Amino acid sequence: MLNIVASVLPLFIWLVYSFLSGFLDKIRPSLSQLMNLQRCRWVENAVHRDTAIDAILSSSLMSSVSFFASTTVLLILALFAVFGQVPILHEALANIRADLSAFDITIQLLVLLIAFVAAFLFFTMSLRQFNHFCIMLGAADHSEEGNADEIIAIAALNTLAARNFNSGIRAYYFSVAMLVWFISPILSIVVSFFIVFFLVYRDYFSRARVLIAKITNI
């Protein structure tokens, strides 16, 4: 029973944290929320200048997302390959954990597969939204007056893309706990909660968050 609980716990915590972070943002704005304000500033400035810097920045963002999406595909394919080698993997892990069964290993591989498939979907959605952002930014009214609604919509697209990218990255964080499961289910549970602590620190108390909060006066 402990093996099953430890298997699904990282996935469960990942989903719960993604849900609760929205409520935490109302109490203390997260680093991501503060960066959303900077995205609005970016678009406001971008529509009033005629330089290549915005295209370079957009390309850099899309390259990062594309890298993670491609890497995730490789991990998914590797997991499918491992599914066909469960008996061999079970034999190899016997020296580390004698309590493991082939069924336990299959469940754990399935949990890992779910996490990385979800991450891939988040990354591809993010990549598509960044693509829409680039198109909208290029098509924006670059006159001095600009269009306030257009600026808000373009910045919102960038925010959606960043949010989905962040969700995909979290899958990688919690996959560490899923991998630790092969050593010890208790250690996997401990690592899961440590990752939550790390995410809370990164999003709400990190040095980067403090610096950006000073700029935005929040």
| pLDDT tens per residue across span 128-177 | 999 999 998 888 877 666 678 888 899 999 999 999 999 999 999 999 99
Q: What is the pLDDT along the chain (218 residues), one digit of tens a residue?
A: 788 889 999 999 999 998 888 888 888 999 999 998 889 888 888 888 777 788 888 888 899 999 999 999 999 999 999 998 998 888 888 888 878 888 889 999 999 999 999 999 999 999 999 999 999 888 887 766 667 888 889 999 999 999 999 999 999 999 999 999 999 999 999 999 999 999 999 999 999 999 988 887 65
What is the extent of the structural domain holding 204? Answer: 2-216
Q: What is the DSSP letter of 52?
A: S
Task: Give residue 146's identity as a one-letter amino acid code.
Answer: G
Q: How many domains does the chain have?
A: 1
DSSP 94: T
- Of the candidates 20, 29, 27, 26, the one whose C-alpha atom is nearest the C-alpha of residue 212 is 29
CA 158 – CA 40 distance, rounded (Å): 9
